[in-house]
Amino acid sequence: MTMRKQDADTMRAFQELEDSRSSVRLRAAMAIGTTPGPRFVDKLIERCAIEPEFYVRDMLTWALTRHSASMTVPALIDELRSKRAQARSQALHTLSKIGDRQAWPAITPALLSDADDEVARSAWRAAVVLVPDGEEPRLAAVLSKQLGRGERGMQLSLSRALVALGEVIVPTLRAAMTDPDPRVRAHAIATERLLRDPDAGFEFAIEEAKRVAALGGTGKEER
């Protein structure tokens, strides 16, 4: 490919990523991922921050994973400081897909407790993918501070993140089962039940846990 044609293809891809039609933007992201190059990285990340369509954002992330981590990870880490919530959320999502643990120090307690629910959820998922061996108990302690947060979907996301860490979460959950807030107690009980029985439905686990928490128990006596 000549330099002139390469430049023309890059310009066309950039223009198509800005097209008003989501189908065109999707094809552009797919094309870039199929023929990756360093010239595309910044544009892909820039588009992730503003792309309104979920499936196009997912293709943008895929395209980024097709590039060298040495190019993408530092740029994505920079994006975690963005004031735009979607930029932070999508950067975290992409880092979790790349799976390069050099990004771990950037997964800060501030991101894990971000006021924006989607940013926090993305941070939880990224954290359990990137956490170094031996750091799981410390991560569990940080995540446990979010127990009781939000509605069912949010709570299920946190429970899944905690369960992914394995048995190291048990001491932290047991401590949370004595929290004065009944929502925290119920969420901790439900999370431990999911750890013990991954096939248990979260709705059933949380309703049973709420009953136990309301009675002042921890659920431990029932096992």
pLDDT value at 218 more than 80: no
Greater confidence, 211 or 131? 131
Spatial separation of the C-alpha atoms in residues 162 and 28, rounded to whole Å: 36
- Residues 21, 119, single domain; the answer is yes
Spatial separation of the C-alpha atoms in residues 19 and 27, rounded to whole Å: 11
- Residues 42, 104, single domain; the answer is yes
- Please write the tens of the pLDDT for every residue from 81-113: 999 999 999 999 999 999 999 999 999 999 999
**Portion of the chain with pLDDT greater than 70, in percent:** 85
Among the residue ranges 53-57, 120-124, 210-214, the one predicted with the least confidence is 210-214
Domain membership of residue 215 as a residue range: 136-223
* pTM attached to this predicted model: 0.88
Please name the residue that has the structure tokens 């369960």. Answer: 163
For residues 94 and 61, the answer to whether their CB atoms sit within 8 Å is yes
- Residues 153, 117, single domain; the answer is no
Please name the residue that has the structure tokens 């108990």. Answer: 137
pLDDT value at 212 more than 70: no
- Residues 117, 185, single domain; the answer is no
- Residues 47, 148, single domain; the answer is no
- Residues 115, 47, single domain; the answer is yes
Q: Mean of the pLDDT values across residues 117-125? A: 98
- Residues 96, 157, single domain; the answer is no
- Residues 109, 192, single domain; the answer is no
Per-residue model confidence (pLDDT) at position 10 = 72
Q: Mean of the pLDDT values across residues 111-126? A: 98
Residues 6+ apart with CB under 8 A from 112: 120, 123, 124, 127, 142, 143, 146
Q: What's the total number of domains in the chain?
A: 2
Q: Mean of the pLDDT values across residues 17-44? A: 94
pLDDT value at 221 more than 50: no
CATH assignment at residue 118: 1.25.10.10
Greater confidence, 158 or 13? 158
Q: Mean of the pLDDT values across residues 4-22? A: 81
